[in-house]
């Protein structure tokens, strides 16, 4: 951990949603609850230096060693948004250095890792400035709330393992304001999970998630979608408790295909699948049927495919990727990740 009293550093992971958040209202509140798996290797490291300023807030933002104007503007907008909660931001100069452990546009959400790292840094800075330490549970709950205001999915990255965000009937401690860890023990099969991210295309997405969320406001299937997501999250959590992989896989895949169907049927529409995405989906289904390997696919709002599997299947899944799927990956690229324990202050 950094000992210098005006430097804070956090490392925070990305996550992959299995029940998708797609559609929001008010101050970044979700229209349905989502559930995700926090990753281990895909992380953002953010260092925040802060000094009192006589002339109001100033932010200098560096990404991977270079000043980045675009990100800087986004961070300033975010600071403006959260200053009702953290008024000290108005009186400080911040120098922020951020870097990712994973390449850009690979199907790993950098907004989740970067916004959660930023929120964690801000809370640690607040503790120093106000000379008041939060109790651990309160710290992470508040960090999740602050991260949510930057990017909805970032709220889930402040916890390791399985995380939900959004109120879920019968599950105490769930909230639209912030994420929480599962309030139950999962079956041993779901305790350690792998995620292999297959890079189908690294071209920039034609539909950003903020545009996608907005399109849901006028989407003809919106209400049916929110009902389906509610049914899916309940059924998925049951399958995780009893260790029913078949049900788990069918819900996870249904969620991914639903997300893309919503995109394809919104106005204007978005077609983010590539032929390689479909080839991989078909190959995964046929491999699962013939070998009984426990693996399934999900996709974020992009063409790249995540293979989700209990970690004990790792060897079989990796062999399958090398033998059959690598041909559909851009330059043969894929990323080997797994479930991780959450953020770390360094």
- Bridge partners of 306, per DSSP, are 197, 298
Of 125 and 240, which CB lies nearer to ligand PMV in the complex structure?
A: 240
Of 20 and 142, which CB lies nearer to ligand PMV in the complex structure?
A: 20
Of 143 and 301, which CB lies nearer to ligand PMV in the complex structure?
A: 301
Of 186 and 211, which CB lies nearer to ligand PMV in the complex structure?
A: 211
CB of 313 to ligand PMV, least distance (A): 24
CB of 35 to ligand PMV, least distance (A): 9
CB of 165 to ligand PMV, least distance (A): 8
**Pairing state of beta strands 193-198 and 58-63?**
unpaired
Q: Rule CB under 6 A: which residues touch ligand PMV?
A: 17, 20-22, 34, 109, 111, 151-153, 209, 259, 300-301
- Which stretches does DSSP call E strand in 64-106? 66-67, 92-100
CB of 216 to ligand PMV, least distance (A): 11
Of 23 and 194, which CB lies nearer to ligand PMV in the complex structure?
A: 23
CB 68 within 8 A of CB 61: yes
**Pairing state of beta strands 7-19 and 92-100?**
unpaired
CB of 266 to ligand PMV, least distance (A): 13
CB 148 within 8 A of CB 44: no
Of 34 and 44, which CB lies nearer to ligand PMV in the complex structure?
A: 34
96 burial level (CB within 10 Å; 0-12, 13-18, 19+): buried
CB of 180 to ligand PMV, least distance (A): 15
Of 182 and 301, which CB lies nearer to ligand PMV in the complex structure?
A: 301
Of 8 and 305, which CB lies nearer to ligand PMV in the complex structure?
A: 305
C-alpha angle 236-244-309 in degrees, rounded to nearest 5: 80
3-state secondary structure of 79: helix
CB of 293 to ligand PMV, least distance (A): 26
For the chain, how big is the Rg over CA atoms in Å? 20
What is the maximum alpha-carbon separation in the chain?
Answer: 68
Q: End-to-end CA distance of the chain: give it in Å, rounded.
A: 4
Distances (CA, A) of 210 to 13, 205, 214, 259, 301: 21, 12, 6, 14, 11
Helices 136-150 and 110-130: crossing angle in degrees, nearest 10, is 130
CB of 117 to ligand PMV, least distance (A): 14
Q: Please tell me the distance from the alpha carbon of residue 90 to that of residue 105, in angstroms, as a whole number.
A: 33
């Amino acid at each position: 951990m950094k000992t210098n009293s005006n430097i804070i550093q956090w490392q925070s992971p990305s996550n992959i949603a299995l029940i998708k958040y797609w559609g929001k209202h008010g101050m970044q509140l979700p229209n349905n609850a989502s559930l995700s798996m926090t990753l281990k290797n895909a992380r953002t490291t953010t260092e925040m230096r802060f000094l009192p300023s006589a002339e109001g807030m100033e932010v200098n933002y560096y990404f991977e060693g270079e000043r980045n104007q675009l990100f800087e503007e986004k961070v300033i907008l975010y600071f403006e948004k959260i200053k009702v909660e953290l008024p000290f931001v108005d009186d400080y100069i911040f120098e922020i250095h951020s870097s990712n452990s994973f390449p850009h546009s690979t199907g790993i959400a950098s907004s989740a890792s970067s916004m959660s790292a930023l929120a964690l840094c801000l809370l640690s800075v607040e503790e120093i400035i106000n000379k008041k330490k939060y109790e651990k549970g309160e710290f992470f709950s508040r960090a999740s709330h602050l991260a949510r205001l930057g990017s909805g999915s970032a709220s889930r990255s402040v916890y390791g393992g399985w995380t939900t965000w959004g109120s879920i009937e019968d599950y105490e401690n769930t909230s639209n304001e912030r994420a929480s860890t599962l309030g139950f023990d999962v079956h041993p099969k779901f305790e350690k999970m792998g995620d292999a991210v297959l890079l189908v295309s690294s071209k920039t997405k034609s539909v950003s998630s903020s545009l996608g969320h907005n399109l849901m406001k006028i989407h003809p299937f919106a209400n049916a979608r929110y009902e389906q997501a509610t049914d899916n999250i309940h059924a998925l959590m049951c399958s995780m408790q009893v260790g029913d992989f078949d049900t788990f896989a069918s819900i996870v895949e249904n969620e991914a295909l639903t997300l893309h169907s919503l995109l394809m049927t919104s106005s204007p529409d978005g077609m983010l699948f590539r032929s390689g995405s479909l080839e991989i989906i078909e190959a995964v289904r046929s491999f699962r049927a013939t070998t009984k390997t426990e693996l399934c696919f999900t996709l974020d709002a992009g063409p790249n495919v995540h293979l989700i599997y209990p970690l004990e299947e790792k060897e079989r899944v990796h062999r399958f990727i090398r033998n059959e799927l690598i041909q559909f990956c851009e330059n043969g690229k894929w990323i080997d990740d797994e479930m991780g324990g959450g953020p770390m202050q360094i």
